[in-house]
Structure 1
Amino acid sequence: MSEFLQNSEYKKKMIKEFLKRLHAGEDLEAVKKEFENFLSSISPLEIPLIEQELLKEGITVKEIAKMCDVHVELFRKAVSHASKQFEALPDGHPVKTLYLENLEIVKDAEVFNMLAVAYSSTQDSTQRSMLYDQLVKQLKQLEQIGKTHYTREEMIIFPHIERRGITAVPTVLWTKHDEIRASIKLFAEFLHKNVENPSESFFDLLKQKAYQLSSAIVDMVFRENNIFYPTLLALLEEGEWVAIKLQEKDIGYYKILPKDEWKSDAKPIYPYQVEPKLTEKQLANLPPQVQAALSSAGLSLQQEPFKVSENDLPLEVGYLSLEELKALLNTLPFDITFIDKNDRVKFFTARHRIFGRNPSIIGRAVQQCHPPKSVHIVNKILEAFKMGEKNVAEFWIQMNGRFIHIRYFPVKDAHGKYLGTVEVVQDVTEIRKLEGEKRLLDWKE
């Protein structure tokens, strides 16, 4: 073991040196050639674990992603056998679905690159116009990769390995996903901006950008097929795949509709239900290289892993304690009032109130909470909700210089049975003034 630890430290040291030299501006090909023998000695399954250690020690995600690009190129031939593992899986298994999507993704990336070359090379204006339309259409198709394939990985699958303390893998993959999403958007803007009066240099640059984007997409397929998916198959239990399968359709698929050949009687297991550690059984099922790397990596799990308390209320999705539920309702910037199926006021939020309420109205008929002149309208709304004729009643008023939005919604159980009505009131004065966009990354302390 001590020999392996020394070996692991040596590998980290060498990769750090590699990244430092790239960061300092040295030529990528020259550095890659010098380090080629060293990099080729690293198992593909060790890379995510070394990345995990480097992230702990301060190496940035962008630097790791740069190293990954080189790593993918070096290991392209070494792990090309991985697809056989996925072909053997029954159709409908989430990994088989991801693999089949990747086949489509590779085809579409190659078609996109060929269209860009053809568009840039033709001199015929009619032909160019037709190729432009096809290129735009293909770009829109490539956008769907991020909305389906990548999003399913980020939102549904990443949490399963993060729960086990492996965070470097999803962090780096998500970074690469976002780079591809941004490149697709930037290419579309570049194409649209120059379509009217294209120059010769524009066509050369367009071919270069198309090749880079196509290569990035294909490289991601390689990384997933040969590193990410084998790791998932080694770590996740059958119940976890059942849970993943149940959630897939909510996000959607990329150009395929999974068959239902894969069946399992296992109970769904969600990430929060997984023990936040790698068990002896899981370690034993991992490839030898991963077992050795994990034994030296010293993965740090969350200090306070999420656990469902016996006092938590099981909601349709997730859990909340009574204390959390009270605080959540009082934090939401809405004035909320709920009346039950018998039209009695049963609850209202204590904060963010726009219309005055006091505890004396609890149990009072909602009709008696309104002026007599408007009671007939209240009854019409409630009747429409109970009969299933309406799903919302919406109003807005000006009050003390503020714009107030008022909505009523029928509240029903999972079987559609009427349980009551909720009134949601919001001051939308400032919201109505918003223009443009402000993203998460624009936030300043």
Structure 2
Amino acid sequence: MKKELNLNQKVFELCETYPELIEILSNVGFTEITKKNALQTVGKWMTIPKAAKLRGIDMADIVAALEEAGFSVEEPVDRVTLLKSYLERLNHGENLENVRADFVQDFEGVDASEILQAEEEMVLEGMPYQEVQKLCDVHSALFHGSTREEQVYKAELAVEDSLRRQGASVFVAIPGHPLSTLTLENEILAMLIDEAQHHCEDDQKTDELFDKIREVSIHYAKKGDLIYPLLKERYGISGPADVMWAVDDEIRDTFQALAQEIKRNKSWKERYLVNLERAEEMIYKETNILFPLCAQTFTKKDWEELYWDSLGYEPCLMDEIPVWEDAKPRKTETKIKGHDIVLPTGKLTVEQLRALLNTIPMEISFVDENDINRYFNEGYKLFKRPNMALGRTVTSCHPPQIAQMVQQILEDFKTGQQDSVEVWMEKRGKLVLVRYMAVRDEEGNYLGTAEFVQDMEAVRKKFL
């Protein structure tokens, strides 16, 4: 009895059903399939035809090997050709709703990630992402009915089905997990959009909701800075970065442009409602395509990196960022490894560090916890810093009246009364900002004081 093989299924799913496929596919050229990590990450979104195209392996050879092993191969539906036909029809001026109707008929019941993968192939084949981006408006047909109730119902069904199959629900249920926080932001945004759509004629209410809704730019920034590059650079999944990212930017930029306009006239409200709908559709796309794709692709380490980096952003649509209790603490150790100085946020050679410090457009000095001069960066200085001063007390480098002020600043830093002091002055006909800053470790212990001298003359000429 022959075993049926659907080439539209993901490699991981096929190998779960037929473990013998691993050896068969390895023998025809997919050698990395024997690596468990590759199978459980890339294999969860890769199909055999797509892998064959990327590796330059003839599908005829693959099918022959599969049939020889007793498999009956079902030819895959050419999603790319279908999507291209939709684009051609749109470019020839056909009504969007007609194209949407055919899209629903052809793609109903298809895993949403397959749509994304088909779009990726189009980009890989050289089609400009701006063209592929047009399909985003067609996608929404899968999640929209004729009434709002039907729209919500179909969207919820699609979300539940996708989460169940992709496993994203596991992460969504973990408080503070990046996928949980992003989903929570979307839930809040969806409620705000719904309220905004119902109160569009109330200008005061519109302004209140609009200010809050614009915080979605933080949500989009996290996707653009953290998720899209990780998918593209680490896992070779370029679809979201090439298509969805551009839509994010358009939604954000449209909200920003609307915010610059004072009048809330009919034209403004029409554009506002259209952009709200686009933001609403992006929620559906994230939930049904992007988040499940991330859930099946990212490792726990990836998610932990995302979490710690996400803490650098302002809270989006909530008062504070939820804490992920189980996130493994990020390494903060500093060490010398070979020729590198390894820091928590990267590593530099001594030559790179020296050049970097000398390139910063300001004079930098460092005094240790005992008030001893330890470091000056190199180059021209308004305030001369002779190397002979290194190893001496900082007060010995100043006249008595200045030394007393410097000593007081250092004492305030040591006791925690102050963390920074700014002094503006004229020096050789230039406006100069001198900033003293306490340097502390992670526990708040005083390590010394940094002095930064910055020529502000160019700023004065430009803005004053």
TM-score range, shorter chain: 0.7 to 0.9
Structure 1 vs Structure 2 CA RMSD: 3.4
Q: Are 1:104 and 2:188 counterparts? A: yes
Would the aligned equivalents of 1:367 and 1:379 in 2 still touch at CA under 8 Å?
yes
Query: Deviations along 1:5-46, whole A, 9 cap, x unmatched?
Result: 578895445534543553465543445556665555864212
CA distance 1:268–1:13, shift in 2 (3 Å): farther
Q: How do residues 34-433 of structure 1 correspond to structure 2 at under 5 angstroms? A: 37-38=105-106, 43-74=111-142, 77=154, 79-80=158-159, 81-82=161-162, 89-92=172-175, 93-116=177-200, 119=201, 131-147=202-218, 149-162=219-232, 163-190=234-261, 192-194=262-264, 202-203=265-266, 205-251=267-313, 252-255=315-318, 264=326, 310-351=338-379, 353-433=381-461
1:187 Cα deviation after fit: 3.0
Q: Measure the CA separation in 2 of the matches of 1:362 and 1:350.
A: 13
Q: More deviation in 375-384 or 81-90?
A: 81-90
Whether the 8 Å CA contact 1:91–1:97 is kept in 2: the answer is no
**Contact 1:240–1:268, Cα closer than 8 Å, also in 2:** no
CA gap 1:225/1:193 in 2 versus in 1, 3 angstroms: same
The 2-side partners of 1:61 and 1:310 are apart by 43
The share of aligned pairs that are identical, in percent, is: 29
Judge conservation of contact 2:367–2:373 (CA < 8 Å) in 1: yes
Using the alignment, how far apart are the partners of 2:299 and 2:445 within structure 1?
Answer: 37
Structure 2 contact 103–138 (Cα < 8 Å) conserved: no
**In the aligned structure 1, how far is the partner of 2:328 from the partner of 2:366?**
39
Structure 2 vs 1, CA of residues 256 and 408 (structure 1 numbering), >3 Å: closer, same or farther? closer
**Alignment-mate amino acid for residue 150 of structure 1:** Y
Query: Following the alignment from structure 1 to structure 2, what is the Cα–Cα distance between the partners of residues 60 and 419?
Result: 53
TM-superposition CA deviations, 1:372-423 (whole Å, max 9, x none): 4422222222222222222222222223332111111122222222222111
Deviations 1:34-83 (A, max 9, x none): 66655558642123333334334443333222112212323655834235
Tell me: CA distance 1:367–1:188, structure 2 relative to 1, closer, same or farther (3 Å): closer
Contact 2:163–2:292, Cα closer than 8 Å, also in 1? no
Residues 175-216 of structure 1: per-residue CA shift (max 9 Å, x gap): 2222121222233344x225xxxxxxx43x345323312211
Of 106-115 and 161-170, more deviation after overlay is shown by 161-170
State the Cα distance separating 1:328 from its structure 2 match: 1.2
| Distance in 2 of aligned mates of 1:150 and 1:254 | 12
State the SS of the aligned residue for 2:385.
Answer: coil
Shift of 1:158: 3.3
| Long gaps (5+) in structure 1 | 120-130, 195-201, 271-307, 437-445
Deviation string for 1:147-170 (max 9, x for gaps)?
2x3233333333432322223313
Partner amino acid for 2:131?
E
| 8 Å CA contact retained: 2:168, 2:295 | no
Distance in 2 (alpha carbons) for counterparts of 1:240 and 1:2: 28
Contact 1:338 1:420 in 2 (8 A): yes
Bigger shift: 415-424 or 42-51?
42-51
- Checking the alignment, whether the CA contact within 8 Å between 1:86 and 1:96 is kept in structure 2 is no
**Number of residue pairs matched by the alignment:** 375
Distance 1:20 1:429 in 2: 57
Give unpaired runs (5+ residues) of structure 2: 1-47, 54-58, 60-74, 145-153
